[in-house]
Structures are given as structure tokens and as C-alpha cells.
């Protein structure tokens, strides 16, 4: 990780409100999320978690308030600049959004192919992230033939592969068993430690209990009703069964090749320079 940290948080929300008809999805939400933070966004169904994520990657515009990403108000970006923003935000959708008639490999490799990266880099990164989520042997399987849990892991791999500055994950463990839930948590923790800002919308009690090193924000009826900052994670021998699997997954993520083909973890390279100004 670079020693030079941004002067401002990566994500800032100032008084953000969003309504659908008479229903307030977000109500005067203000948050700051620093680089390298793992944040858990919790709350009951309908509390506003998904809407908040959608405002961050400009899929929704707030009715009032500001969303600022790396110092730039996204409402002031030209429409042509939004794809540059989204290219550097990895999103794990609740409904996966996979190409069901394409292979697992193609689904995962697609973000890099769109960027025009060399085939060697695409191949090596795809192999690494599929290994990290335990699906290297399913690379040639059609995504639509996978179970719900396997499709969820493909979606996670796709979000990781481009080494984005921000990862937004909407219920990423909803279809996973407890072992894979903890492995995915370990992956996201490691990615955050490497400098990526990670926001996970979840109501998974296991995830919330184990992620004591995460910032926690609880929403209720679109409002922030609880904000908890990280504490030291507890040591629990009950999760020993995931240690070996988790170590292998973390090693695969750390070995992801950079765009120049060299090995290394998530880069600190600021993508913001590539986003055209308004």
C-alpha cells in the first residue's frame, strides 16, 4: 500500500435523501468512508441499503444532498464520465447479473476484456480470482448451470478481478453456507487491507458477528440509526475449519497480476486521474 493517502475520504455522503413516491428510501444520510475501510451496511429489508449503494455508483441520483467520490461530486460529472467511475467500482449485485449463457470464465474476464487488457493478464487474473472463490474447475461451465451459491461466488470474483478502488456488495453471502461466508469475509478484509474501500450491505448475522474489524452502519427507514467503528476482531477456535481454505483464497488475491503483467496485490493507483472533469 502506498504511504500517500488521499487528503479526503474516498466516499462522502452529505444529507442524501431519496424517495420513491411517498416512500423515503434514504432520509438525510451523511457518511464518510476512508480508503481501505471495510464497512457493513445493515438494516432490515427496505431500510435503504440497496438504494444507498446505487447512489454511490450513480445508478440512482439523490433527490437532495451530495455524493462525493474521491473528492468529486458525481452529480456534476458529465454523463460521458460516469462509465469511468463505474469502471473503478466493483459491484456484487443481489441478483448476480451474470450472463447465464456464457461460461464462468467469460463472465469473470469480461471487465478486463472491456478495458482491453493483454490476454496474458486477463487469463492470469481470471485464474487467480476463480481459484480464490473455489471455482477454478468450473471455468468452462455455463453460468446458468451453477447453483445459487456458485453464481454468487462468480459475481464476487467478477467484482474483484479489475482491482477496483471501491467494491460495493449487496448481500454477497445470502446464498453461501457458513464456511464460504467466512472465506468471502476473509477475502473482503484482505482486499480492504490492501487499500480498496469495501461496502457490504448485509443482514447476515454471521458476517456481522465475525467482522469486528469493520465499520458498521445500521439503517432504519432510510436513516442512519447506529454507527460503530472497528474494534479488534475476536479469536475463535470454532472457525479453524476455514483457515486452510481462507489462506489459499487470500494468497490467490494477493498474487493478482497488475496490468503490466507483474504480480502484486490491489494497486494504490488513483483511477480518479482517468475520469474527465466536468
Give the CATH number for residue 239.
3.40.50.300
Residue 70 is assigned to a structural domain of this protein: yes
d(CA 202, CA 50): 10
**How many CB atoms neighbour CB 64 within 10 A?**
12
Tell me the whole-structure pTM to 2 decimals: 0.81
Q: 228 versus 248: which is more confidently predicted?
A: 228
Residue 1 is assigned to a structural domain of this protein: no
Share of the chain above pLDDT 70, in %: 80
d(CA 101, CA 204): 30
Q: Residue 243 — very low, low, confident or very high, per pLDDT cuts 50/70/90?
A: very low
Mean pLDDT over each residue of the chain, to the nearest integer: 84
Nearest-5° angle of CA 60, CA 49, CA 274? 50
Helices (DSSP H) in the chain: which residue ranges?
A: 49-56, 82-87, 104-115, 119-132, 148-161, 178-193, 205-210, 243-254
Mean pLDDT of 245-251: 51
Q: Which residue pairs from 1-7 have beta carbons closer than 8 angstroms and sit at least 24 positions apart in sequence?
A: 1/36, 1/193, 1/194, 1/195, 1/268, 2/195, 2/268, 4/268, 5/35, 6/35, 6/70, 6/71, 6/270, 7/71
Q: 8 versus 67: which is more confidently predicted?
A: 67
Residue 273 is assigned to a structural domain of this protein: no
What is the distance of C-alpha 133 from the center of its chain? 14
Residue for grid cell 471487465:
111
Residue 247 is assigned to a structural domain of this protein: yes
Q: Residue 83 — very low, low, confident or very high, per pLDDT cuts 50/70/90?
A: confident
d(CA 46, CA 55): 15
pLDDT tens-place string over residues 192-221: 999 999 999 999 999 999 998 899 999 999
pLDDT tens-place string over residues 142-194: 999 999 999 999 999 999 999 999 999 999 999 999 999 999 999 999 999 99
Residue for grid cell 443481489:
94
55: closest CA among 166, 154, 218? Answer: 166
Lowest mean pLDDT across 38-42, 154-158, 261-265, 271-275 = 271-275
Residue 112 is assigned to a structural domain of this protein: yes
Q: Residue 249 — very low, low, confident or very high, per pLDDT cuts 50/70/90?
A: low
Q: Residue 237 — very low, low, confident or very high, per pLDDT cuts 50/70/90?
A: very low
Residue 234 contacts residue 208 (beta carbons within 8 Å): no
pLDDT higher than threshold 90 for residue 91: yes
pLDDT higher than threshold 50 for residue 227: yes
Residue 201 contacts residue 49 (beta carbons within 8 Å): yes
Phi/psi zone of residue 35: left (φ > 0), alpha (ψ -120 to 50 degrees), beta?
Answer: beta
3 state DSSP class of 268: coil
**CB-based burial of residue 34 (10 Å sphere; 0-12 exposed, 13-18 middle, 19+ buried)?**
middle
Residue 104 contacts residue 141 (beta carbons within 8 Å): yes
- Complete edge-to-edge strand list for the sheet that includes strand 166-170: 89-92, 166-170, 197-201, 38-42, 215-220, 223-228
Mean pLDDT of 48-77: 94
The pLDDT assigned to 230 comes to 78
Mean pLDDT of 59-66: 96
pLDDT higher than threshold 80 for residue 274: no
Residue 256 is assigned to a structural domain of this protein: yes
The pLDDT assigned to 212 comes to 87
Full domain range(s) for residue 115: 11-265
pLDDT higher than threshold 70 for residue 278: no
pLDDT higher than threshold 90 for residue 268: no
DSSP state of 169: E
How many domains does the chain fold into? 1
How many Cα neighbours within 13 Å face the side chain of 89? 23
Residue 174 contacts residue 92 (beta carbons within 8 Å): no
The pLDDT assigned to 248 comes to 53
Residue 2 is assigned to a structural domain of this protein: no
Q: Which three cell numbers stand for residue 106?
A: 467469460
Q: Residue 240 — very low, low, confident or very high, per pLDDT cuts 50/70/90?
A: very low
Amino acid at each position: 500500500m502506498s504511504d500517500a493517502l488521499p487528503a479526503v475520504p474516498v466516499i462522502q455522503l452529505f444529507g442524501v435523501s431519496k424517495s420513491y413516491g411517498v416512500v423515503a428510501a434514504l432520509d438525510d444520510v451523511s457518511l464518510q468512508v476512508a480508503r481501505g475501510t471495510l464497512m457493513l451496511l445493515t438494516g432490515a429489508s427496505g431500510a435503504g441499503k440497496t438504494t444507498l449503494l446505487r447512489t454511490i455508483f450513480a445508478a440512482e441520483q439523490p433527490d437532495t444532498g451530495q455524493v462525493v467520490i474521491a473528492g468529486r461530486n458525481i452529480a456534476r460529472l458529465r454523463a460521458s464520465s460516469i462509465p469511468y467511475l463505474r469502471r473503478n467500482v466493483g459491484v456484487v449485485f443481489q441478483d448476480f447479473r451474470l450472463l447465464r449463457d456464457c461460461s464462468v470464465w467469460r463472465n469473470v474476464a469480461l471487465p478486463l476484456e472491456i478495458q482491453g487488457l493483454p490476454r496474458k493478464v486477463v487469463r492470469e487474473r481470471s485464474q487467480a480470482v476463480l481459484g480464490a472463490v473455489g471455482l477454478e474447475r468450473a471455468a468452462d461451465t455455463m453460468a446458468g448451470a451453477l447453483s445459487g451459491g456458485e453464481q454468487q461466488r462468480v459475481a464476487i470474483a467478477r467484482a474483484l478481478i479489475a482491482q477496483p478502488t471501491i467494491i460495493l456488495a449487496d448481500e454477497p453471502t445470502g446464498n453461501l453456507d457458513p464456511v464460504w461466508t467466512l472465506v468471502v469475509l476473509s477475502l473482503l478484509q484482505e482486499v480492504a487491507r490492501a487499500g480498496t474501500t469495501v461496502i457490504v450491505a448485509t443482514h447476515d448475522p454471521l458476517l456481522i458477528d465475525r467482522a469486528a474489524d469493520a465499520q458498521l452502519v445500521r439503517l432504519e427507514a432510510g436513516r442512519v440509526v447506529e454507527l460503530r467503528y472497528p474494534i479488534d476482531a475476536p479469536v475463535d477456535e470454532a472457525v479453524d475449519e476455514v483457515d486452510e481454505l481462507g489462506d489459499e483464497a487470500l494468497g490467490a488475491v494477493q498474487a493478482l497480476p497488475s496490468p503490466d503483467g507483474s504480480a502484486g496485490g490491489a494497486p494504490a493507483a488513483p483511477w480518479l486521474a482517468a475520469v474527465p472533469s466536468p
